[in-house]
Amino acid sequence: MSKAGSLPAAGLSPAGVPFLGELLARKRTLVMGILNVTPDSFSDGGRFFDPQKAIAHAQDMVAKGADIIDIGAESTRPYGGAAAVSADDEIARLADVLPGVVALGCPVSIDSMKARVAQWALDAGATILNDVWGLQRDPDMAPLAARSRAPIIVMHNRDKADPAIDIMADIESFFTRSLGIADGAGVRREQIVLDPGIGFGKTPEQSIEALAKFRTLKKFGLPLMIGASRKRFISTIVASEPDERLGGSIASHLLAVIDGADIVRTHDVPETMQALRVAAAIRSAR
């Protein structure tokens, strides 16, 4: 449904898993399935903390069409209250899960803001970096991306929401800084995917604005990811708990794809896949 701008290098990893660029070159929206191996994530904290349940859930998402599995072992929930996790604890949570997920043969991204965790995950078979602080929290993350040449998702974030700011100007300024850090470390532009970070450091109104103006981010000429799955802003429109926000999540993702999203990050893989395919078929029939 959308075409990427500058694509990460095509080909296969040493394990035979497609790199992100090879997937994006297929000219269809990619679906990234979320796997939280945490006790306190905002939507599914604790559900997949057990390694066997986590691997089984990843297997189910792959069977139902996920192109990428995004695995995280520290809650980065946008609304605060999550306990800080050391790099050692994060790795310990991943140790019994990530190899089993990698063995499924689907590309795996590591959702971590810590370069040491990300390096461990790459060594264990992950092929994509997903940094919720967009290279601006851990100074070793950009050099790691440069050395590994792994695709890296650069997400916008703020320590605290400020309703007085122009959120799109802030996102664009953040990305400009991140790209400068990437350039300085030797990260190639074709490795980078941008994510506006719906819900992170934003009021619900600012999250809605970021979705409404998502198309403006195409000016960077890079692939774009959207992750509105089960986010709180949905409940400000229609009162709902996280697991009751499927409709709002799909509506947000479909509009973002129409506006240029190349990757959709979601808790609900089969429903999202169905929505994307039906929308793509209808648009093609036009």
Could you report the per-residue pLDDT of 73-108, keeping only the tens digit for each?
Answer: 997 755 555 567 899 999 999 999 999 999 999 999
User: Residue 43's pLDDT is what?
Assistant: 53
- CA distances 133 to 5, 173, 200, 270, 279, Å, are 22, 14, 10, 28, 32
d(CA 18, CA 160): 37
pLDDT band at 162 (very low <50, low <70, confident <90, very high): very high
Helix, strand, coil % in the chain, rounded to nearest 5:
45, 15, 45
d(CA 130, CA 109): 6
d(CA 228, CA 267): 10
d(CA 237, CA 38): 28
Please indicate whether residue 231 is annotated as part of the active site.
Answer: yes
- Tokens 């310990």 identify what position? 92
Question: Which of 202, 230, 245, 265 does the annotation list as catalytic?
Answer: 265
User: Residue 20's pLDDT is what?
Assistant: 79
Q: Taking 60 as the threshold, does the pLDDT of residue 171 lie above it?
A: yes
| Share of residues in the chain with pLDDT > 70 (%) | 87
| Runs of H (alpha helix) within 64-140 | 87-95, 98-102, 115-123
Mean pLDDT confidence for 200-205:
97
With contact defined as beta carbons under 8 Å apart, do 30 and 66 qualify? Answer: no
Domains, the chain, in order of start with CATH, read: 20-285 (3.20.20.20)
Q: Taking 50 as the threshold, does the pLDDT of residue 116 lie above it?
A: yes
d(CA 148, CA 185): 12
Please indicate whether residue 245 is annotated as part of the active site.
Answer: no
Question: Which of 230, 231, 232, 245 does the annotation list as catalytic?
Answer: 231
What is the token pair recorded at 230?
């089960």
Mean pLDDT confidence for 43-64:
82
The pTM of this model reads 0.90
pLDDT band at 18 (very low <50, low <70, confident <90, very high): low
